[in-house]
Amino acid sequence: MSLRNPSYTNPKPCKHLEDYKLRHGLSGYKSIQRHLKATPHGRTSVEMLNTGVPRCNSCNGFQGRLYLCLICNSVSCLDHTLLHTQSEDGHDLAVDIERAELYCCVCCDQVYDPDFDKVVMSKHNMGVPRDDKHGDESIGERLVKRRRLGLGVAEELVDLKKSKQLVSMRDRRDKSCYPLGLRGLNNLGSTCFMNSVLQALLHAPPFRNYFLSEGHNHEACRRRSGDRLCLSCDIDVVFSAVFSGDRAPYSPAHFLYSWWQHSANLASYEQQDAHEFFISVLDGIHEKEDKSRNRNRDSGDCQCIAHRVFSGLLRSDVTCMTCGSTSTTYDPCVDISVDLDTSNFSPTDTVNKRSKPNENSSISTLLGCLDLFTRQEKLGSEQKLFCETCQEMRDSVKQMSIRRLPLVLCLHIKRFEHSAVRKTWRKIDRYLQFPFSLDMTPYLSSSIVRNRFGNRIFSVEGDESDINTDFEIFAVVTHSGTLESGHYVTYLRLRNRWYKCDDAWITEVDEEIVRASQCYMMFYVQKMLYQKADEDLSSLPLSPRRDAYLPIASCCERLFK
């Protein structure tokens, strides 16, 4: 957001603000500084302590908005701000006492100045350690300097050209019109939960590229750890099989066997949860790598492929409602589980019957779920927390946000609720609208924290890495049925066509089918990786050991809807 949007860090001032700054610099702001009062809710107002109720100089009115002149400190109501600037030359800039916003009396409009916001923000206890080295650097400069940091890891996983030679041989069995890696998976007995997640993993661009370009070397792995269980090796086998060009459905039997050995507690022939399986597989990959590889010493982040692709960072802020001080914690995550936003059912819907029914207000949307996930949540009075500053138990507000986005974002919808009456868990079948293109900017920590303080212009930790916030969907895992008994199906988006992967059956479907489906897990990938993935599909590298690939014929027509 910030880099693409220059008006955020550098809003264009009106002529009067410019003149004012030239003549008075920051002196007016600094003089106001001691009168600024910050509330624990992130708001700021002006308090002229010794004058009692502020009144307009011209009409003595005290109602409505009042504006404090930055030069002479005289107060005017909205009706008389123009009068003030006419009678006193150059007294164009004032501050809204209620909200501490700059107001240009000549333009009759709210204006913005990063320097003023900086002064305002100095009154707030942010709770996050400030980076003192950059005190005087403008936000713009810092953002430009650190721009390149975010791309490092992604570039490695994206650039296939770095890997082995490209080979293409003709495989007569292959149905060449369809993208590589499209292959059904046999259901081995209630294993659709596994098949559905495998399909998504097989087509997560950076994950796929890693395995297809020999990212995990069998021999090296065997040498290091003998015959010990390695889920990555087994996944590698699945990748080879699925991308071999053979279109007959593949039975991931060996993988199931390995996974059951890893997740002993999940090893049973029964219907299971796809999300649990997903977490379990990533954990299995991580565990093995953790023992054998060194951590990246610079950033301390785990370098296993599971984390490099899926790991992000969540930020949790707990704010004391009395003094405003915030305690922040960071937690890594490999996905985000959100509750359905069913709050749109309002009793006032009946009132709206007269007006035109607005569909949007009664549908659950993914953005609504994310809004819910990142909203400020008042912790009940029975959950008071100890505030270090107040040294007392206080009412608090909690807010989640995303500090760092992963390359592949897995969003999991918690489609189950507990019925206190029946004391059982029940599945929520409610439809959830989800976009194909997702902009995660509003959910980043920088956006959320900034918003908490009224969107003042100041830099928030993490601004520099908030570059890749555009995501494209590439897989949707859907569930139909009940909690105890149901069926998972995955929809894959390859080269902008949608394919339904229902165990062994791969069919092409219209995007409408996907939009109307009941989503359970959605996989989004950073947009630039998505675009590159499409190009790569036509020329995937392979090691000499592997089976042949066939380049995609890009000329065929859509065979059927």
Partner 1 sequence: MSLPNEDNMASQLSSHFFGDLLDSIIVDVASECHRIARLGLDRNLEDEEEELRLSAQARVRVADPSNSGEANSKYVVDIFGQSHPSVASEVFECMNCGRSIVAGRFAPHLEKCMGKGRKARPKVTRSSTAAQNRYSRGSPVSTYSPYSNSTSSNRLSNGTSGVAGEEYLNGTFQEP
**Residues numbered 452-481 forming contacts with partner 1, rule: CB under 8 A:** 454-455, 457
Pairing of strands 396-404, 470-481: unpaired
We find the least distance from the C-beta atom of residue 361 to partner 1, in angstroms, to be 11
Angle at 227 (CA atoms; ends 225, 228), nearest 5 degrees: 65
Any catalytic annotation for residue 418? Answer: no
Which listed residue (19, 171, 214, 283) binds partner 1 by CB under 8 A?
283
> Which structure tokens are listed for 110?
């709210």
**Residue 425 interacting with partner 1 (CB under 8 A):** yes
Convert 249-314 into a string of H (helix), E (strand) and C (coil): CECCHHHHHHHHHHCHHHCCCCCCCHHHHHHHHHHHHHHHHHHHCCCCCCCCCCCCHHHHHHCEEE
What is the C-alpha to C-alpha distance for residues 541 and 533, in angstroms, rounded to an integer?
A: 13
We find the least distance from the C-beta atom of residue 161 to partner 1, in angstroms, to be 30
**Residue 491 interacting with partner 1 (CB under 8 A):** no
* Burial of 266 (C-beta count, 10 Å sphere; 0-12/13-18/19+): middle
> Which structure tokens are listed for 73?
């400190």
Which listed residue (34, 291, 414, 495) binds partner 1 by CB under 8 A?
414
We find the least distance from the C-beta atom of residue 226 to partner 1, in angstroms, to be 17
What is the C-alpha to C-alpha distance for residues 235 and 304, in angstroms, rounded to an integer?
A: 14
Question: Do 424 and 331 contact (CB within 8 A), yes or no?
Answer: no
Which listed residue (125, 163, 240, 316) binds partner 1 by CB under 8 A?
316
> Which is closer to partner 1, CB of 26 or CB of 509?
509
Coil, helix or strand for 173? coil
What is the pattern of x (binds partner 1, CB under 8 A) and - over residues 49-88? --------------xxx-----------------------
Which listed residue (153, 321, 509, 528) binds partner 1 by CB under 8 A?
509
We find the least distance from the C-beta atom of residue 396 to partner 1, in angstroms, to be 8
Q: Number of C-alpha atoms within 13 angstroms, CB side, residue 62? A: 5
* Interactions with partner 1, residue window 176-195 (CB under 8 A): 178, 182, 184, 186-191
Tally helices (H) and strands (E) across the chain.
18, 25
We find the least distance from the C-beta atom of residue 399 to partner 1, in angstroms, to be 11
Region of 18-26, 208-216, 346-354, 374-382 interacting with partner 1 (CB under 8 A):
374-382
**Residue 398 interacting with partner 1 (CB under 8 A):** yes
Question: Which amino acid appears at position 365 of this protein?
Answer: T
Q: Number of C-alpha atoms within 13 angstroms, CB side, residue 134? A: 16
Any catalytic annotation for residue 304? Answer: no
- Torsion angle, CA of 184/190/194/195, rounded to 10 degrees? 10
What is the C-alpha to C-alpha distance for residues 461 and 326, in angstroms, rounded to an integer?
A: 14
Which listed residue (20, 67, 112, 520) binds partner 1 by CB under 8 A?
112
**Residue 110 interacting with partner 1 (CB under 8 A):** yes
Which listed residue (106, 128, 167, 372) binds partner 1 by CB under 8 A?
372
- Count of residues in contact with partner 1, rule CB under 8 A: 125
Region of 81-89, 335-343, 348-356, 547-555 interacting with partner 1 (CB under 8 A):
335-343
Residue 121's beta-bridge partner residues?
Answer: none
Region of 200-208, 209-217, 283-291, 525-533 interacting with partner 1 (CB under 8 A):
283-291
Question: Do 184 and 251 contact (CB within 8 A), yes or no?
Answer: no
Which position among 69, 104, 192, 233 bears the catalytic label?
192
What is the C-alpha to C-alpha distance for residues 479 and 430, in angstroms, rounded to an integer?
A: 12
Question: Do 364 and 432 contact (CB within 8 A), yes or no?
Answer: yes
We find the least distance from the C-beta atom of residue 366 to partner 1, in angstroms, to be 9
What is the C-alpha to C-alpha distance for residues 229 and 227, in angstroms, rounded to an integer?
A: 6
* Interactions with partner 1, residue window 223-282 (CB under 8 A): 247-249, 251, 253-254, 256-257, 260-261, 264-265, 267-270, 273, 275-276, 279-280
Residue 340's closest CA among 374, 361, 366? Answer: 366
**Residue 5 interacting with partner 1 (CB under 8 A):** yes
* Interactions with partner 1, residue window 130-159 (CB under 8 A): none
**Residue 337 interacting with partner 1 (CB under 8 A):** yes
Which listed residue (323, 513, 528, 550) binds partner 1 by CB under 8 A?
513
Q: For residue 439, give every residue at least 6 positions away whose Cβ sits within 8 Å of its Cβ, in sequence order, or none.
A: 469, 470, 471
Angle at 409 (CA atoms; ends 403, 414), nearest 5 degrees: 95
Q: Number of C-alpha atoms within 13 angstroms, CB side, residue 499? A: 24
We find the least distance from the C-beta atom of residue 190 to partner 1, in angstroms, to be 6
Which listed residue (170, 228, 418, 495) binds partner 1 by CB under 8 A?
418
> Which is closer to partner 1, CB of 112 or CB of 474?
112
We find the least distance from the C-beta atom of residue 544 to partner 1, in angstroms, to be 27
We find the least distance from the C-beta atom of residue 280 to partner 1, in angstroms, to be 7
> Which is closer to partner 1, CB of 365 or CB of 531?
365
We find the least distance from the C-beta atom of residue 456 to partner 1, in angstroms, to be 9
> Which is closer to partner 1, CB of 10 or CB of 543?
10
**Residue 219 interacting with partner 1 (CB under 8 A):** no
**Residue 500 interacting with partner 1 (CB under 8 A):** yes
What is the C-alpha to C-alpha distance for residues 81 and 422, in angstroms, rounded to an integer?
A: 63
Radius of gyration of the chain (CA): 29
Task: Give me the active site residues, please.
Answer: 192, 487
